[in-house]
């Protein structure tokens, strides 16, 4: 007797039968290869990333509004993006691995180190240590967990031409690491203007999983915007684009586990301040509200630098002293 052919599963049934980690964009019901291609070109490579993207952004990429609403809702359902109890949030944060800066004082200031799942802003004058910390983090992220690393690679978006492999070599040798391997685990993108900078961040998702990226550096986030948007008439447009850019970075931290984003920012002087510190971070409230943790860096004596937590949802305002040495960031 001939066997009956099994009825083929519908897209919805196929999704239900998969384990939670096995979902891909192709599994979504009603989504074809053309739509998947558009999503990947927009830097959306996973169900999680799709669940976090605004529908308006998808329509801008040429996806119909109804299709966009449907696939985003399905992705959100798969990711169980509803409410959860605070004890589960605490359990996740308590088990979070943090990235060491190389300085115990600076790590203590940040309650253990640089935090994945956050956009951390370093701002200060020139030679205050911003780029030096970024270089050190690119080395440290490759260390084992027990040594304060994240066992991953770094992605460095250089907007000012300040990335120096020679400095990476010095820092790697100070930790007895093979500098050739360390350099291979750092992917560098040189951004030549603000549009290119935005594009590099959007393209980042295409290599995060492939290269096991656990750290993204943008040094600096504001430089190109300051030079290209000149005058008060361009300010509103600049801030709107900058806001979207920062939220692209925030979505990356939400889309991938153990991904930390560190951005550097410049300062400007307020001419009307006669007492106290006249320096303030550029980018205004857009950058201030968009970043998760803000750290102000200033020069101290000789190699010493001072870091101050200006804003963080879980840290008090406090300061720590660290040093920038030939071997890297130290106490």
pLDDT of 27 above 70: yes
What value does the mean pLDDT take over residues 172-182? 96
Give the chain's mean pLDDT.
Answer: 87
What is the reported pTM? 0.85
CB-count exposure of residue 214 (10 Å: 0-12, 13-18, 19+): buried
pLDDT one-digit tens code per residue, 291-308: 999 999 999 888 899 999
The three-point CA angle 312-317-322 to 5° equals 100
- In tens, the pLDDT along 237-261 reads 888 999 999 999 999 999 898 999 9
pLDDT at 4 > cutoff 60: no
Beta partners for residue 133, in sequence order: none
59 touches 68 (CB < 8 A): yes
Q: Are 324 and 126 in contact (CB under 8 A)?
A: no
pLDDT of residue 44: 84
- Give the alpha-carbon dihedral of 101, 160, 128, 330, to 10 degrees: 30
Sketch out the chain's domains with CATH numbers. 24-78 (1.10.150.20), 90-330 (3.40.50.300)
220-241 pLDDT, tens digit per residue, is: 899 898 888 888 888 888 889 9
Q: What is the pLDDT of residues 31-52, one digit of tens each?
A: 788 888 888 888 788 888 888 8
Summarize pLDDT for 49-92 with one digit per residue, the tens.
888 888 888 888 888 888 888 888 888 888 888 788 999 999 98
**Backbone φ, ψ for residue 325 (5° rounding):** -110, 175
User: Among 189, 193, 283, 200, which Cα is nearest to 243's?
Assistant: 283
Q: Is the pLDDT of residue 212 over 80?
A: yes
Other beta carbons less than 10 A from residue 224's beta carbon:
19
């Amino acid at each position: 007797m001939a066997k009956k052919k099994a009825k083929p599963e519908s897209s919805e049934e196929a999704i239900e039968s998969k384990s939670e980690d096995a979902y891909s964009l192709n599994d979504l019901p009603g989504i074809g290869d053309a739509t998947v291609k558009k999503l990947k070109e927009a830097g959306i490579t996973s169900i999680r990333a799709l669940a976090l993207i605004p529908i308006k952004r998808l329509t801008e990429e040429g996806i119909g509004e109804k299709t966009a609403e449907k696939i985003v809702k399905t992705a959100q359902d798969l990711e169980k993006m509803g409410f959860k109890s605070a004890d589960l949030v605490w359990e996740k944060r308590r088990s979070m691995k943090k990235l060491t800066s190389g300085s115990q004082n600076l790590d203590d200031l940040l309650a253990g180190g640089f935090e994945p799942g956050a956009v951390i802003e370093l701002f200060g004058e020139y030679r205050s240590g911003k780029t030096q910390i970024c270089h050190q983090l690119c080395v440290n992220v490759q260390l084992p967990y027990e040594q304060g690393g994240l066992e991953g690679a770094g992605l460095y978006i250089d907007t000012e031409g300040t990335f120096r492999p020679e400095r990476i070599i010095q820092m790697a040798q100070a930790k007895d690491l093979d500098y050739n391997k360390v350099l291979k685990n750092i992917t560098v993108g040189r951004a030549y203007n603000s549009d290119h900078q935005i594009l590099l961040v959007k393209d980042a998702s295409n290599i995060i999983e492939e290269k096991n990226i656990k750290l993204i550096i943008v040094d600096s986030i504001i430089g190109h915007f300051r030079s290209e948007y000149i005058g008060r008439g361009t300010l509103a447009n600049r801030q709107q684009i900058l806001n979207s850019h920062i939220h692209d970075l925030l979505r990356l931290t939400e889309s991938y586990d153990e991904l930390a984003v560190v951005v550097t920012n410049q300062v400007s002087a307020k001419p009307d301040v006669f007492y106290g510190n006249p320096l303030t971070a550029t980018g205004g409230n857009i950058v201030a509200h968009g970043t998760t943790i803000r750290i102000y860096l200033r020069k101290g004596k000789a190699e010493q630098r001072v870091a101050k937590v200006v804003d963080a949802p879980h840290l008090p305002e406090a300061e720590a002293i660290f040093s920038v040495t030939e071997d890297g960031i130290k106490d």
